[in-house]
Structure 1
Amino acid sequence: MFKGITRTIWFISLVSLFTDMASEMLYPVMPLYLKSIGYSVLVIGILEGFAEAVAGLGKSYFGRLSDVSGKRLPFVQLGYLFSAVSKPMLAFSTQLWWIFVARFTDRAGKGLRTAPRDAMLNAEATAANKATVFGFHRSMDTLGAVLGPLLALGFLYLYPGNYQRLFLIAAIPGIVAVLFTLLLKEKKTVTAGKKAIPFHQTFSYWKQSPQQYRKLVIGLLLFALFNSSDVFLLLKMKEAGLQDTVLIGVYIFYNLVYALFAFPAGKLADRVGMQKVFLAGLFFFILTYMGFAFVNNTWLFILFFTCYGMYAAATESVAKAWISTLVPVNENASAIGLFTGFQSIAALLASSLAGFLWFRFGAVAVFSAAAAVTAFVLLWLWKQAGTQK
């Protein structure tokens, strides 16, 4: 079952599992915590927008820097260390500037590590199992997103409102993740070049990238511009009258479906083609969003969240594996970093657009528009049949 999953892949995946466990222990409760200490929804939105912008720019810049420097592991180790340190920082002050520093530290860590880590995964893969490797990693990562909220819910059930202690407890899986990074060894697959690049060259890889890569990324980013935050799915269920505990339960269920299907989806993509599996994932996205546009039933919400989990499993890791087949190995971090950086920025715009559409026209407009654009992207990528063998 785990054929081709090397020691390095296991360790990177365990690092991601424990890091995501720490992050997702806090993700569902951060808005509650910030509101409890007096910050408005506007401040929370600005804070999260700032944090995601930092992560997006970091993914592009440090992916490029990883390629030109010929190194992966230092970025990975430092990135996970930043994220681990950021969790207990939140326990020591409620000052807004300090919370900004903590969130900046966490997202800077994500920006540092993402593209070099994915390049390390790609270096461990073969042409026949790229999607399997990325799918296995995503499955382990998302398992952390199941365990983290469950631990947070259990803790807050026993100790309601004790957020500071939860922030300290979240440091434990973060520290475990950092310790696992010390067991990693870097495979020498890239040639060292420059030791640094100017920040204004963050997006310079686009000009020299292969045409097939640009065509794929254009389609993926068009989709990302309408793929808004999962918060809007939860908000629709909230409007339908579901309790908060049910919402969190459904979100955990979605992550469980995602975790269970990511690895099999990767194996299937290697067998039948990455393009086919990715497009099937977009089909599940369309089903989900069209369903959310018109239903208000709890069981149907669960059904469509199942589809949503299958969409995520069939697209997130497969997209990175697909990209890695279109560029030389010594440009992997640049290619994935540029895509994921643009994707983060597009996600910010998507959520802003969704918020406007919801305010002006209602939930039906948000979900219907996203489903329609995704159908167009599906057809666009279908025409790129020659890019995936």
Structure 2
Amino acid sequence: MPQQLPKPVRSLGWISFFTDFASEMVYPIVPLFLVSALGAPVVVLGLIEGVAEAIVSVMKGLSGWHSDKAGRRVPYIRAGYGLAALSKPLMALAFSWPLVFLSRAFDRLGKGLRTTARDAMIADAVDCKIAGRAFGFHRMMDTGGAIVGVLAALLLLRLLPGEYRLIFLIAGVPGLAAVWLSFRLRDLPKADDPDTDCPAPERMPQHTVESAAQAGPMGFSRAYWLTLGLLTLFAFANSSDTLLLLRARDLGWDDSQVITGYLLFNLTYALSSYPLGILSDRMGRWRMLIGGWALYSAVYFGFSVSDGGSIWWLFPLYGLSMGLTEGVGKALISSHVPALRKGTALGVFHMSLGFTALTSSVVAGLLWDHVGPSAPFRLGGVVALAAVLAAVALAPRIAAAGKAGKEG
């Protein structure tokens, strides 16, 4: 009989659902508000999002380390969701773009504060044998909230055309629901044994590896750093999702078709994350991750060569590739660190992937402008394929290193 997810994991799932509900009500409206209502130049959009993502990446690393040092996760989670909720009504008060920038900075600061502590709390709360199920459930709830938020934004734009400030205020309601739920969380007891993690069996050939005592930087194992290296390599392939929407527009889709494609992606992502997370606990996480990266590579090559009439099927396949990899990657990386240092390890993981994805998005944008719209997708497909080949070569060594670390 499947092991039931503990209450903290289920609560964090609902908190993320309501937060993403609020965030996705606002996210597609911010560009309209900036350009139409405030008259900001388009370059401001890039400035705001670039700085916002840099804030997120730095704070994910710092908050993870500090939550380990403090021995608590909940204060970071509450503060993070509180800042996110505050940012919505703050945006409604903006009468110039710098105030929108400030609001967006609050939102991203909150995301940086909460994400690593939240993921560490999920990892703390479950037996490592069901970590895939736990992270898959959370991703399902998070993306489910995003779907509801996008649908709500579409409905409100139709019912309240041009009333951007009112929509921002309405978005504060699900944000407050998330904050209320966060005050029902309680910190978990500290683990007695810092080495209780047990990497999921990968059923791969075992090779002789060096002693687990020969740890890498920051005292983390070679298995951790090799896994992080592979995940970071793939992150360079994973540029901003807005490029897929721009590609659809470039191929002749209108606004409603673009939003429908975005919904197809999110719907597939939400529906697949939980069952695929469960499957990763049973089949081995590297198999799922490699399959997801291979599918991602195929999807990106598809976007580089397809026409507007044949890309419909690529959006749900893209969602499936994310369902195969997002939660599974977190479960995998968390299985290679001591219980008392999961916040730090996940913080390094999030920060590394965040800065790599930001660099990837900048490079992809330059390729779009100076080479052509298909160029960033060819690059993403090639890098994802390289990640697949590297993982096939290194995953047996990582699995063996993880086993040696557990026995050592």
**TM-score, structure 1 as length reference:** 0.94
Aligned to 1:347: 357
> How many Å apart are 1:364 and its aligned residue?
2.2
SS for the counterpart of 1:5 is coil
Aligned to 1:266: 277
d(CA) in 1 for partners of 2:158 and 2:217? 49
The residue correspondences of 1:264-303 to structure 2 (distance < 5 A) are 264-298=275-309, 300-303=310-313
d(CA) in 1 for partners of 2:8 and 2:265? 28
Does the aligned pair in 2 maintain the 1:80–1:177 contact within 8 Å?
yes
Segments ≥4 residues shifted beyond 3 Å: none
d(CA) in 1 for partners of 2:9 and 2:123? 9
Deviates more, 1:23-32 or 1:128-137: 23-32
Aligned to 2:204: none
The residue correspondences of 1:124-163 to structure 2 (distance < 5 A) are 124-163=125-164
> How many Å apart are 1:184 and its aligned residue?
1.1
Deviation track 1:309-354 (CA, whole Å, cap 9, x = no partner) reads: 0111111111110001111111111111111112111121111100
Does the aligned pair in 1 maintain the 2:226–2:398 contact within 8 Å?
no
> How many Å apart are 1:385 and its aligned residue?
2.1
Does the aligned pair in 1 maintain the 2:34–2:97 contact within 8 Å?
no
Q: Give the AA of the match of 1:239.
A: D
Does the aligned pair in 2 maintain the 1:71–1:190 contact within 8 Å?
no
> How many Å apart are 1:206 and its aligned residue?
4.7
Question: Please, what is the CA RMSD of the aligned residues?
Answer: 1.5
d(CA) in 1 for partners of 2:99 and 2:253? 34
1:232 aligns with 2:243: yes
d(CA) in 2 for partners of 1:223 and 1:347? 9
Q: Give the AA of the match of 2:303.
A: F
Aligned to 1:198: none
Does the aligned pair in 1 maintain the 2:131–2:331 contact within 8 Å?
yes
The residue correspondences of 1:103-118 to structure 2 (distance < 5 A) are 103-118=104-119
Q: Give the AA of the match of 1:323.
A: I
Deviation track 1:199-222 (CA, whole Å, cap 9, x = no partner) reads: xxxxxx953221111111112112
d(CA) in 2 for partners of 1:167 and 1:253? 25
Deviates more, 1:145-154 or 1:30-39: 30-39
> How many Å apart are 1:297 and its aligned residue?
3.1
Q: Give the AA of the match of 1:169.
A: I
Does the aligned pair in 1 maintain the 2:252–2:308 contact within 8 Å?
no
Aligned to 1:200: none
Aligned to 1:9: 9
Q: Give the AA of the match of 1:305.
A: F
Deviation track 1:156-212 (CA, whole Å, cap 9, x = no partner) reads: 011111110010000000000011111112111258xxxxxxxxxxxxx95322111
> How many Å apart are 1:127 and its aligned residue?
2.3
d(CA) in 1 for partners of 2:311 and 2:220? 41
> How many Å apart are 1:97 and its aligned residue?
2.4
Aligned to 1:317: 327
Aligned to 1:201: none
What's the % identity of the aligned pairs? Answer: 37
Does the aligned pair in 1 maintain the 2:236–2:383 contact within 8 Å?
no
SS for the counterpart of 1:242 is coil
Aligned length: 375
> Which residue of the other structure, out of 326, 338, 350, is the alignment partner of 2:336?
326
d(CA) in 2 for partners of 1:315 and 1:243? 30
Deviation track 1:222-263 (CA, whole Å, cap 9, x = no partner) reads: 221231101111111101111111101110111010000000
- Cα separation, partners in 2 of 1:70 and 1:33, compared to 1, 3 Å: same
Q: Give the AA of the match of 1:18.
A: F
d(CA) in 2 for partners of 1:270 and 1:85? 37
1:241 aligns with 2:252: yes
**Structure 2: 5+ residue stretches without partners:** 193-215, 404-408
Aligned to 2:233: 222
Aligned to 1:34: 34
**Structure 1: 5+ residue stretches without partners:** 192-204
Does the aligned pair in 2 maintain the 1:287–1:307 contact within 8 Å?
no
d(CA) in 2 for partners of 1:101 and 1:38? 17
SS for the counterpart of 1:327 is coil
Q: Give the AA of the match of 1:14.
A: W
Q: Give the AA of the match of 1:62.
A: S
Does the aligned pair in 2 maintain the 1:67–1:190 contact within 8 Å?
no
d(CA) in 2 for partners of 1:92 and 1:127? 45
d(CA) in 2 for partners of 1:50 and 1:103? 9
SS for the counterpart of 1:302 is coil
Q: Give the AA of the match of 1:49.
A: G
Does the aligned pair in 1 maintain the 2:78–2:182 contact within 8 Å?
yes
Deviates more, 1:219-228 or 1:182-191: 182-191
Does the aligned pair in 2 maintain the 1:4–1:125 contact within 8 Å?
no
**TM-score, structure 2 as length reference:** 0.89
Does the aligned pair in 2 maintain the 1:13–1:140 contact within 8 Å?
yes
d(CA) in 2 for partners of 1:146 and 1:130? 24
